[in-house]
Structure formats: C-alpha cells, structure tokens
A and B are shown apart, each in its own frame.
Chain A
Amino acid sequence: MVVEPKRTLRIPIARKITIVVAIPFILLAAFSIPQTRWRLGANLHNQLRSKGEAIAKALASSSEERLVSGNVESLQALLDGFRDVDDVGYLYVTDNTNELIAHTFAIRPPAAVAHRQSKSPDKEIAFTTLTPPELGEHLEVAAPVLFGTLGTVHVGMSTKQLEAELKSATVSLLLQFVVAVFIAILLLAVAVRILLRPLHRVLAVLRKTGTGDLTQTVGALSNDELGDLGQEVDSARARLAIMIARIRQAYGNIQASNSQVTALYEKIVEVIDRQAKVASATSQAASRTNEMATRVTTNTLDLDRLIGTSAAATMQLGASAHAVSEQTDLLFRSVEEAGQALAELTSAIDEIHRNLARVSQGSDETASAMSEMGTSATHVRMTAENTVTEATLMHQLAEQGLATSHETIGGLRAIRESSEQVSRLTATLNQRIEEIDGILKFITEITGKTNLLALNAAIIASQAGAQGKGFGVVATEMKELADRTNAQTQRIGEVIEGIRQEVTRTENAVRVSKTKVDSGVLLAEETGHALERIVSNSNQVAGRVQGMARATTEQAATAERVTRTTEGLALLVANIMRAGQKQAASAQRIFDMATSIQRSADHAKHSTREQHDAAGAINRDLANISEASAAIAAAMQEQGESSGALFAVTEQLNGTVENNRESVLALKAVFQTLAERVVTLNDELRSFNIRQESEDPQ
C-alpha cells in the first residue's frame, strides 16, 4: 500500500534552466533586433539617398545639352543607362514647364507622376517619398538641371530592396539569435543532463524505494554533492531494508506463534467440545444413575416388603411345621399304642384317620403356604436379580462416569496445559512485539533524521539558487519519503499496538480460562470421588443383593423340598388313609402297616424337624436379607445424595465447560483479529522488496 503523494505540475530542472537561459536571450533579441534593424534601416536609407542623389546629379549634369537640344531619345538613352542600376525604380525628366519628356516607367507613367501638379522646378536637390500604388514606396530624388532652368531629373530609388535587405537582415539576425539560443540551450541541457544524471538515478531509486522495492542501489554517482546524496540515500535505503528484514523476521516469528496458537486453540476447542460431550454424558449418566438409584431403592423397598411377607409366610410355615411335628409325635405315640392295643385300633384308626385328615389338611395348608412362599421366593429372587442387574448397570455407569470424569480431568488438564502454553506464547509474542516496537522507534528516528536531512538539503538548495532546484526536488522527494515512512511506521505501530492489545486480551482470556479449568478440574475430581464412592457402594449393594438372591434361591429350593416332602407325606397319609379304610384286611398287614407307619412317622418326625430347621434357616436368611436391604437402602440413600452432588457438580461442570467455550470463542475472535493484523502486517511487509528475500516474499 503506497500512498501516492499529491503532485502539482511537474517541471523538470532542465526545462527550468532552459527557460532561465532563454529569457535573457529573448530579451536581448527583443531589444537588440529592433535597434539593429532601425540602425541598419537608417544606414541603408542614407545609402539609398546618397546613391539617388549621385545618380540624379549625374543625370542632371548630363541632361543639360540634351534638354537644350530637345533630343529626347538621347535623354531617354541616358535614363536607360541608369534604369538597371540597383535600387533605381524609375527615372524621369521634366522640362522647365514641368512636362514629362522622358521616363522609364513600364507601360505608362503612374498617375501620381503623369498628373503631377505643375510647380516651379526646385533649384536645389530635393528628396520626397512617393508611394505610387503601381510601384510601391520610392525615395524620389529631384535634381534640377541648371538650377531648374532646363528641367528636373527625377530618380525614384525603390525602397523595396532596402526593405527586403532589412527583412533578410532581421530574419538572419533572428535566426542567429535562435541558433545561438538553441546552441546555448542545447549545451546547457547536455550539461544539466550530465549533472542531473546522478540525480535522476537517485530519483529512480527513491521512486523504487517508495514503491517498496529496496533492491535498487544508487551506487557511486559523482564526486560532488550528488554523490554524497546518493550515498546517503543508499545508506538510508540499506538501513530501511535491514529494518524491514527485521520486521519481516519478527513477523515470521509472530506468524509461527500465531499458527501455534491457532493449533492450540483448535486443540482447546476440540478438547472443550469433547469435554462438553463428556460432561453431557456424565450428566446423563449421573441422571441415569440417579434414576437407577431411585429404582434400586424402590426395588429394595419392594424386596423388604416382600421379605416381610416372606417372613410372615415362613413364620406361618414354621408354625405349621411345628404343628405337623406335634401331630407326628402324637401319631408316633398312637402307633406305639396301637402296637400294644390293636383293639383300639379301629377307633385309633378312626382317630388316625381324623388326624390324618387333619394332617392332610395341614399338609394342604403347608403346601399352599409353601407354594405361596415359593412364589414369594421366586419374586424375591427375580427382584434380587433385577436389583443385581440394576446395581451392575449402576456400577457400570458409575464406572463409566468415573472414567469420564477421569477423562474430563485429563481434558481439563490438557486445557490447562494449553492455556499455560498460550500464556507462554503470548509472553513470547509480547516479547516480539517489544522487539518490533524497538525497530519502529528506530525507523521513526531514521525518518526524523531523513526529514532533517531533507530540510537541510532544501535549505542548501535554496541557497544554491537556480542550480539548486534539482536538489530542492530531491529534498522534497526525500522529505516525502520520510513522511511516508513515518506514516507507514505509525501504521505498523498501530498494528503492533492492536496485536499487543489482542495478546493482552488473549492472556486475560487464557487466565480466566485457566481459572475456570482449574475449578473444573477440582469439580471433576470431586465427581470422580463421588463416582468412586458410588462404585464401591454399588459393588456392596450388588454383593449384598447377590447374597440375598442366593439366600432366596436356597430358601426357594428348601421350600420346594419341603413342598415335595409335604406332598409325599400327603400321599403317604392318603395311602394310610386308604389302608385304614382297608382295615378289614389282615392284622399282619396292619401291624406291618403300623410298623411301616412307625417308620414313616419316624421319618415324618425327622422330616418335620428338618422342615423346622429349614424354616429357621429361611427366617435367618430373611433376616439377613432384610438387613442387607436396609443396608442397600442406606447405601442407596447415600448414593442418592452422591448422585445429587454429582449432578450438581456435573451441572457446574457443564457451566464451566460452557464458560470455557465462551472464553474460547472470545479467544477465537481475538485470534481472528490477531490473524487479520498479522495478514495486514504481512501485506505491509510484502510491499517491501528486499534483495535477501526477494525470491520468496512470504
């Protein structure tokens, strides 16, 4: 970007000098040519007059006899002898009556002569100026013949040749002047051109420099002031080139920094995006965890309630079993009695039958209870399994959350590192800017010096007068260059100041970002801790639920066994009942049957005990489950709290990430401005052509 200086009409020095030289010549010509012409004219006129006088006098004296004799052809011959004399326009002779008697007029005498008024002839020679329209101006010399007594001889001296001579003399004089002026101007122009050649070289270099081409050097010009000027210009140009090279170098650094910063910025943006994604995922996970926790809690409560129901059922089962045991004992004792008293058998059998009916009833009750219990157990198991699944899921989610939070922390740390790097780079940038500032001050100093130099040159030029006009032009050019350089320098300074401000803003933004990242890291760490706790808690919950599930499964298996036994017992009882009904069969068979019953009773007693024992185990298990579910509930409570905290933290994290994004966006704007400044700076630099980097200006 070159600012074209406003130009007025440009007049080269050579032309000015030419004008200066031409003016005195022209003045000299203007004064001397008319003067010379006048003097020459007067001189020629005098000559013409003398010539005419001589001819007239000669003719007058020669005409005397001819006039006396009236011999006109002789007189005519006399006139004819003079008609071819230079400047003689016409000749004529009048007699003493003023009659025209001989003449040399072509065709006929002009009216002015033919009809001349009669007057007494002059006695003395007379001069008149006649201008007959046919002949032009003539100086007429009238010479009286014998004092006018015979007549008068008139000689018309044509001024035509005189005028022509005057004209040619004037033209020749003018031509001489013109040639002299031309030669003088030519010589002067050559001299001035030779003198100004170095100046033109300087001008060309300055012009090139003005357009940014710093490859041109003035070189050794001459051994005079122009040579000095060339050297000064060269050294100024060289210093300028060095400065621009330095600026360019600085610009390169800035650009490198800028690209680094840009890369980092890209990275930050990426990380922040990822962070935001992770935070969002975390938040989602936390929310889901929360949900899961709630569902786990619900399930646990359900489980508790079911356990309660289960316990009641088990209790009932226990009571039933106890009753069975008692009946069985009673049965045993009866069987023992039967062994002793078969008589009483029928009644006994009836009783047994009744008892058996009751047993059967009890067995049915047990069976239904057992069935109920089995259903409950299955429910419990399913719930437990559900719980385990949920817990596992929660665990997994918590694990995932943990991993995410670790990742978040990692990302935040990366952000922090990037920010720190940005800080360091901005510091470097600041340093470069300081360097450029220094260079700009140097340039300003030089332009100031150049300005001073131009001023001095202008003063010297004005002192040198006309010859100094060239220097004056150079001085003006130098001053313009200095002014332009100053303006450019100020512009560069402004650009640099803009960069500095942007860098400061970057620094601030980075600092803010860093603080925010730091708090984000803290929060993320907290989140991590909370998640870790969730993980361990959910592990515990899962373990417990799994234990519960196992117990429930065992319980269910036991209950099934009880059911099966009870069913077997019922079948036995039914068989017994069918045998009792077939009492009419043999005693042996009864005895056998009694023995068998005894054995069965024994077995039943044993089974019932066993059943009793199982119910106790179930009860114990249920208690255990209840305890575990309470623990789960507590853990869930805790977990819920943690989830809330996590959620809050996640929210905070989200906010931070959002802040980060905003900061980064601000940073981006800054970077863009910075990049624009850098591009502007590059453009400015590109307009300078330095030999060292001329091949690759970028």
Chain B
Amino acid sequence: MTHLCLGQSHMHQATLLCLIIGIFPAPASAAQGVNADTITLGMTSAFTGRSAGLGSELFRGAQAAFQTANQAGGIHGRKIRLIAYDDGYEPAQAVSNTLTLVERDQVFALFGNVGTPTTVKVLPLLLKYRSLPMLMFAPFTGAQMVREEPYLNTVVNVRASYRDETAALVNLFVDLGKRQVAVFYQNDSYGRSGYDGVIRALKPHGLRVVAEANYPRGAAYATSMAPQVRALGEASFDAVVAVGAYQACAAMVRDLRRNGFAGPIGNVSFVGSEALLELLTDAEVKDARIYSHDLYNSEVVPSPEMTELPLVAAYRRDLAAVAPEIPKQLLDPSYVRKPFSFVSLEGYVNATVLMHVLKNAGKELNEKSFAGALAHSSNADFGLGATFQLGDPTGHHQVWIVKADNQRWVPVIR
C-alpha cells in the first residue's frame, strides 16, 4: 500500500489526500476515473470541525472494506482508490472539493459525502456533469432532496431517510405515550429536513410540533443551549426530537436535563451516536449527574455490537484487520478513533454495497454497466437482514432504534 501525495488543496481547510490503492498499467476505459487497475473515488467530508467524527469514522469504515477488497485483488482486477478532502461540514468547501475531485482528480464517482447542507450544494454539480456522468454513491444524509428528482439517476442512496428516522422516533415517542413533541434542529437544510420529517410523522397521529428551537451550524458542546431550552419551554412538551450534530445535540441534552426535562430525547443517525454519548458520559462524570437517560437514537445501520449479523461480523473483522488510519492532513486533533461505531459501520456497509455493484457491473465498467448492476442488486443480501435491500432510489427504509444505557447504545427491540 502506497501513499502518494498528489497535491495540496488550494482551500484553507482542505488537505488533499492522495490515496493510491494500487498502480497498475491498464487499458483505456470509457468511464472517468476507471482504468485497467484502478477505480478512483472522491470523498469530500467533515474530517475537522464539530462533525469531525463523522467523516473520519465513515472514512475508516469504508477503507476497511476497500482495502480488504484491494488486498483480495480488487474488483475485476481494479483496485479502489479513495481521494478524500476535508470540507469541515461547510457547503461551499464541499462544492469546491467536489469540483477538484471531478475536474482535476477525475474521480469515477463521489463517495462518502457527509451532511445535508453540503450534499445539497453538491447535487447541482451532478446535473452539470451529467454527461460524464458523475454519480454520488451513498451520501451520509437522510435528506429528501437526494432521494428525489432530478437526482434519482445520479444519486445512489443506501441509508434510510430522515423522514424514516424521525418517523421511527415519533412513533416511538407516541408509543411511549408522548403527544407533545418539540423539535430541536440545526438551522439549515439538514435541520429543516428533520423538522419536516417530524411534522410529517406527527400528522398521522393528528399531532403538531408544539415547540421548536434551532441552533446555528457549527455550535460547540461548550455553547449554552439555554436560549433554546427557554424557547422550547414557552410551550409544554414531553418529548424532543433533535436534528443536529453531536456537539450541539449533546449540549442541548445536557441543558434540557439541567433544566429538569426528564422526557425522552431522540436524535437521528447523523448525530454520531458514539461521539454524542461520549460527550454526555464525560459530562455526567464531571457534573456527577445523569444526562443520558431516556436518550434514544435512530440508526440507519444496526448496532456494531450486533455481531450475529454477518456483515457486522465482517466489518468488525476487517476494521480490526486493516485498522485504517486517518491521513495526517485530515486528522482533527479532537477526533478520537473509536474501535467500532455506527458511522464506521455505515461506511463499511456503503463500501460493501458499492463494491457489490461494481463487481456486478463486470470488467467493462461504465455508466451503463453500473446502472445495470445497480438494478440487479436490489435483492442482494448484504448480511444485514432481509429488509435491507437496494433498488429503491430513496434507499432502504430500515431504521434501528437504540437507547443509551450505561454509556453504551443498546438496541431497542420493537
């Protein structure tokens, strides 16, 4: 395995990682980013900043799968090469990185996009590069936009949507007897998407959002969420759905609990469950009080502890075997590598699905072969249970609910 630095990003946050998974002479291919021995993928993701854990974990999970495959000879002799840039969860940087990846790095597809606001901004580029075409594979977002026209043919979704997640949370709360749901959300398209999901999920129950409060993207754990707690407190609420990043959401959970709110709080998968729980656990130790009770998360992958699932078992095996490193250029000092996590599992799942499609596309890899392989992969069993299937452009709809319990996330069996 050779690391080669191809260049430095001209943008302030981004650092170029040139990751060469294999260099072999190969015959020319029609598709961009594909040659005889390499399939180059581009990743713009949050490696630094408040959501540093997401990009990093996603990267590690994906790399565990890719490198295992590469070590096994690649896909039809082609090794997977993943070029990753840091966008710091900033839409403009994501766009800039995407342009670099497409124009300069000439990647075959975009992989591992993280976040709604970033991805939403990148989407129009897919239309711009329709002629290539440029695919976006398994973005790490449950936003509705990537699951709708005009991006149905250019985005391949793996995970369930925020609508699925928020609906699962709302249904859980309703089942728990809660009828006054408040929403805490990030004041951008991600938060709006989750908020919209809550509204939609409440509607069948004849309920409305009783209170709302948002926070600006990039808020740190140290930020006081007291104004948001007050804003919610103007109405009477008994459950909270939080649609945000882990630092802000941890801060909100902390401040809600401090303010005496004891009801259930639910976060969506994007929050980064391990990072959230870690922050709260640290705070609990520090403040000698419990913040993480009645804390639920909706997940788009099963718990990495569910080793009875074959894919989870493979994930754990490969991640431990490969032990992928975050390139130094992308490493956020605050990021602490987790042995296993929902996010890295999601990365592993996404990479597995992608490679499954690539494998099915055959030796001749191009748009057509890829689309054909995609269509034929709908019934594939990836080892996550019968319900997890490809083929639906909105992704699969399987959502796992976990609950914080003794500094761990345990599945909630329903």
Query: Which residues from chain A sit less than 8 Å from chain B, CB to CB?
Result: 69, 71-77, 80, 101-102, 104-109
Contact = CB atoms under 8 A, between A and B. Distances in A.
A261 to B, nearest CB: 109
A69 B149 contact: yes
Contacts of A108: 211-214, 231
A73 B116 contact: yes
Contacts of A107: 213-215, 227-228, 231
A76 B162 CA distance: 15
A73 B121 contact: no
Contact of B189 (A69, A77, A106, A109): A77
A77 B117 contact: yes
B227 A76 contact: no
Given A71-B148, A73-B120, A73-B145, A102 B192 contact: yes
Contacts of B377: none
A75 B116 CA distance: 12
User: Which of B188, B190, B216 has most A Cβ within 10 Å?
Assistant: B188
Interface in B63-80: none
The 10 closest A-B pairs by CB, nearest first: A76-B192, A73-B193, A73-B189, A77-B189, A76-B189, A77-B120, A72-B196, A74-B145, A73-B192, A108-B231
Contacts of B192: 72-73, 75-76, 102
20 contacts: A69-B148, A69-B149, A71-B144, A71-B148, A72-B195, A73-B144, A73-B145, A73-B189, A73-B193, A73-B196, A74-B189, A76-B191, A76-B193, A77-B91, A80-B189, A101-B196, A104-B187, A106-B187, A106-B216, A108-B211
Contacts of B231: 107-108
A73 B149 contact: no
Contacts of A75: 192
Contacts of A73: 116, 120, 143-145, 189-190, 192-193, 196
Nearest to A111: B234
A106 B217 CA distance: 11
A48 to B, nearest CB: 23
A80 B117 contact: yes
Contacts of B149: 69
Contacts of A106: 187, 214, 216
Given A73-B143, A107-B213, 6 more contacts: A69-B148, A73-B192, A77-B189, A80-B189, A105-B214, A108-B211
Contacts of A74: 120, 144-145, 189
Nearest to B211: A108
Contacts of A80: 91, 117, 188-189
Contact of A77 (B148, B188, B195): B188
A106 B191 CA distance: 12
B111 to A, nearest CB: 21
Contacts of B91: 77, 80
Interface of B: 91, 116-117, 120-121, 143-145, 148-149, 187-193, 195-196, 211-216, 227-228, 231
Contacts of B191: 76
Contacts of A105: 187, 214
A71 B187 contact: no
A74 B143 CA distance: 9
A75 B211 CA distance: 21
Contact of B193 (A69, A72, A104, A109): A72
A77 B213 contact: no
Interface of B is mostly: helix
A49 to B, nearest CB: 26
Contacts of A102: 192
A426 B369 CA distance: 151
A73 B116 CA distance: 8
A74 B148 CA distance: 11
A475 to B, nearest CB: 75
User: Which of B187, B190, B215 has most A Cβ within 10 Å?
Assistant: B187
A76 B148 contact: no
B145 A71 contact: yes
A102 to B, nearest CB: 6
A549 to B, nearest CB: 158
Nearest to A99: B199
Contacts of A76: 188-189, 191-193
Contacts of A101: 196
Contacts of B187: 104-106
A104 B190 CA distance: 12
A109 B212 CA distance: 9
User: Which of A77, A105, A109 has most B Cβ within 10 Å?
Assistant: A77
A106 B223 CA distance: 14
A80 B211 CA distance: 22
A621 to B, nearest CB: 168
B234 to A, nearest CB: 9
Contacts of B145: 71, 73-74, 77
A71 B200 CA distance: 12
A75 B213 CA distance: 19
B251 to A, nearest CB: 14
Nearest to A101: B196
Nearest to A76: B192
Contacts of B196: 72-73, 101
A72 B195 CA distance: 9
A156 to B, nearest CB: 15
A692 B60 CA distance: 111
A108 B211 CA distance: 9
Nearest to B195: A72
A104 B187 CA distance: 7
A71 B228 CA distance: 26
A75 B193 CA distance: 10
A77 B119 CA distance: 10
Contacts of B227: 107
A59 to B, nearest CB: 14
A665 B231 CA distance: 116
Nearest to A102: B192
A472 B188 CA distance: 78
Contacts of B195: 72
A77 B211 CA distance: 22
A497 B91 CA distance: 111
Nearest to B149: A69
Contacts of A77: 91, 116-117, 120-121, 145, 188-189
A80 B188 CA distance: 6
A104 B188 CA distance: 7
A77 B228 CA distance: 22
A521 B15 CA distance: 144
B188 to A, nearest CB: 5
A68 to B, nearest CB: 11
A510 to B, nearest CB: 116
Nearest to A104: B187
Nearest to B150: A65
Contacts of A104: 187
A175 B121 CA distance: 46
A632 to B, nearest CB: 155
A617 to B, nearest CB: 174
Nearest to A80: B188
B38 to A, nearest CB: 34
A105 B191 CA distance: 12
Contacts of A72: 144, 192-193, 195-196
Contacts of B189: 73-74, 76-77, 80
Nearest to A100: B212
A106 B213 CA distance: 8
B192 to A, nearest CB: 3
A215 B295 CA distance: 103
Contacts of B212: 108-109
A305 B227 CA distance: 163
A219 B316 CA distance: 109
A107 B148 CA distance: 29
Nearest to B121: A77
A77 B92 CA distance: 12
A80 B90 CA distance: 12
B199 to A, nearest CB: 9
A105 B212 CA distance: 11
Contacts of A71: 144-145, 148
